[in-house]
Amino acid sequence: MNGAMQAAGRAAAAGGVAYSASPATAEMRMEIAGAYPPEAGISSWVRGVRLDRGRQVTVSDRFELARPSRDVALSLMTPCVVEEERPGTLRLTRERGDGEPLVVRLRFDPRQLAATTETLTLDDRRLTHVWGTRLQRILLKAREPVRRAAWTVRVSKG
């Protein structure tokens, strides 16, 4: 956010955390503005994460900034190969041990967000043991300066 990363420590904890679960779903909602330093200029940022078991994960962000900014991005990390299928849909693929590839799709509103990817090389053995030697960072960036917005990202199999 505006060049500021999330802060660390108990003082930067999310507030207003609510959680619910059922056999079919699990959902969490929280206010995360306090996780960022004042220079980020975030007045409010409510994030919701919903798991529809066996179907998809939905991340919903509703935020308001102190002033309009174009320097707003969601950052997602994956060990998968990332390809744009069409505007607003990224195909993420990773080989599994059984020879069948794991395929998921990440969907977002391409009128609001533009996707870019970059490769990060890992050399820490603690990380490479789990993730391999590289990760892909997906950045979903605001297309236009925004002061308030509601963004939704969905990840589903197949």
pLDDT digits (tens, 9 = 90+) for 74-130: 999 999 999 999 999 999 998 877 778 889 999 999 999 999 999 999 998 888 888
Domain that holds residue 90: 10-157
For residue 35, being part of any structural domain is answered with yes
CB 131, CB 33: distance < 8 Å: no
Q: What confidence tens digit (pLDDT) does each residue in 144-158 have? A: 999 999 999 999 987
For residue 5, being part of any structural domain is answered with no
Q: How many other β-carbons are positioned within 10 Å of the β-carbon of residue 68?
A: 13
For residue 135, being part of any structural domain is answered with yes
Total domains present in the chain: 1
For residue 56, being part of any structural domain is answered with yes
For residue 17, being part of any structural domain is answered with yes
pLDDT of residue 96: 77
pLDDT of residue 140: 97
Place of tokens 């892909």: 136
Q: How many other β-carbons are positioned within 10 Å of the β-carbon of residue 151?
A: 19
For residue 3, being part of any structural domain is answered with no
pLDDT of residue 10: 85
For residue 2, being part of any structural domain is answered with no
Q: What confidence tens digit (pLDDT) does each residue in 39-68 have? A: 889 999 999 999 999 999 999 999 999 999
For residue 4, being part of any structural domain is answered with no
- Tell me the pTM: 0.88
CATH of the domain at 31: 2.70.98.70
Pairwise CA distance, residues 107 & 89, whole Å: 5
Number of H helices, E strands in the chain: 1, 11
pLDDT grade for 28, boundaries at 50, 70 and 90: very high
